[in-house]
């Protein structure tokens, strides 16, 4: 995979001035739709890829976090920091303060993305209490907070209790399959349930999340590759599945386990964890065809899908037993 986008360094100073100005000029929500109308670029679309310039952008961004008065504004700023991950560590104090507001969910997700620096600073008792008493009017909050709590503390019990009854739901970044994948080999108890879902769910985000989870638990690419290829193929413009497999990052049938996430020192299961494919950049007709809501490996996933879509459609299946799957999870 090529280098991740970091943005032209010449953009950093003007963006920092804009962040420090009275009028932000960026939307709080991203718009992914066809049509003739225009819309503002969102804050996360603009700043999300610019973690390499965090040193310049963080001072005005942190000032905005301290002054923010709306939930939408706080959410948009937190989503940028979630994209930046460890590079956003200087903003931990502002994010911890947001745990006392209705933006607590997005603050917790950003803290979890930052990893060890946040794990050592966050008030774990406060975060645990939020799971039982989340902000009103946010039915998704308890599960999202439980996932963030598990990533920060290594205690997955609250997330398992809240999420497992929803195993099989097709939507949401707090899909239980995401959580089971984060358990890695410790999630072996749930492997058969995931296999059952992979056999019955053929479209949408669910087979992608379930397939990734099963692979992270078992390390067996051969049982998930066919389902993943079938789920992605409708969005590849007819690219050959064999070509898709060859262009991806691991060997089917090799038994090679997917790479483990970095762990926070002294925090079991800590560090930055995947929430499934954060963004799968598969486009159909210029519109983002699939969009998911935690990270680095997800960029790898997106690169493989993009390669599949633009690959030679005349490619014939290979007899090579080490064909690679179309997702480098």
| Range of the structural domain that residue 226 is part of | 170-329
Residue 212's alpha-carbon distances to 21, 195, 225, in angstroms, are: 42, 11, 10
Asked, for residue 263, whether it belongs to a domain, the answer is yes
Q: Is 283 helix (H, G, I), strand (E, B) or coil?
A: strand
Asked, for residue 326, whether it belongs to a domain, the answer is yes
Asked, for residue 90, whether it belongs to a domain, the answer is no
**Residue 55: other Cβ atoms inside 10 A:** 11
* C-alpha distance across the termini of the chain, in Å: 12
Residue 121: per-residue pLDDT: 95
Asked, for residue 17, whether it belongs to a domain, the answer is no
Per-residue confidence of the chain (329 residues) as pLDDT tens digits? 334 456 678 888 888 888 887 877 776 767 666 665 556 778 888 888 889 999 999 999 999 999 999 999 999 999 999 999 999 999 999 999 999 999 999 999 999 999 999 999 999 999 999 999 999 999 999 999 999 999 999 999 999 999 998 888 777 666 799 899 999 999 999 999 999 999 888 877 888 899 999 999 999 988 899 888 888 887 776 554 444 444 444 444 444 555 554 443 333 333 333 333 333 333 333 223 333 333 444 455 455 555 555 554 444 333 333 333 333 33
Please state the domain count of the chain. 1
Asked, for residue 40, whether it belongs to a domain, the answer is no
Residue 300: per-residue pLDDT: 52
- Of 140, 198, 178, the closest CA to residue 274 belongs to 178
Residue 39: per-residue pLDDT: 65
Is the pTM of the predicted complex or chain greater than 0.85? no
Asked, for residue 153, whether it belongs to a domain, the answer is no
Asked, for residue 252, whether it belongs to a domain, the answer is yes
């Amino acid at each position: 995979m090529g280098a991740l986008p970091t943005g032209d360094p010449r953009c950093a100073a003007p963006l920092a001035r804009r962040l420090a100005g009275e009028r932000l000029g960026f939307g709080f929500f991203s718009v992914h739709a066809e049509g003739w109308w225009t819309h503002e670029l969102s804050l996360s679309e603009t700043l999300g890829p610019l973690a390499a310039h965090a040193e310049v952008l963080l001072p005005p961004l942190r000032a905005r976090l301290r002054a923010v008065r709306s939930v939408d504004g706080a959410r948009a700023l937190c989503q940028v920091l979630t994209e930046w991950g460890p590079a956003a560590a200087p903003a931990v104090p502002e994010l911890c303060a947001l745990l006392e507001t209705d933006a607590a969910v997005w603050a917790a997700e950003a803290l979890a993305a930052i990893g060890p620096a946040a794990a050592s600073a966050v008030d774990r008792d406060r975060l645990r209490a939020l799971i039982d008493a989340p902000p009103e009017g946010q039915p998704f909050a308890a599960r999202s907070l439980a996932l963030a709590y598990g990533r920060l503390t290594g205690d997955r019990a609250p997330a398992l209790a809240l999420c497992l009854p929803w195993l099989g739901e097709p939507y949401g970044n707090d899909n239980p399959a995401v959580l089971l994948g984060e358990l890695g080999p410790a999630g072996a108890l749930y492997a058969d349930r995931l296999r059952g879902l992979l056999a019955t769910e053929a479209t949408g985000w669910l087979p992608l999340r379930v397939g990734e989870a099963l692979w992270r638990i078992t390390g067996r690419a051969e049982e998930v590759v066919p389902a993943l290829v079938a789920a992605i193929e409708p969005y590849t413009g007819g690219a050959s599945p064999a070509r898709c497999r060859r262009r991806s990052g691991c060997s089917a049938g090799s038994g090679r386990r997917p790479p483990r996430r970095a762990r926070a020192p002294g925090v079991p299961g800590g560090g930055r964890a995947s929430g499934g494919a954060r963004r799968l950049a598969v486009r159909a007709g210029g519109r983002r065809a699939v969009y998911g809501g935690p990270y680095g490996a997800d960029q790898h996933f997106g690169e493989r899908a993009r390669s599949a879509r633009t690959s030679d459609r005349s490619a014939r299946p290979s007899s090579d037993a080490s064909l690679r799957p179309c997702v480098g999870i």
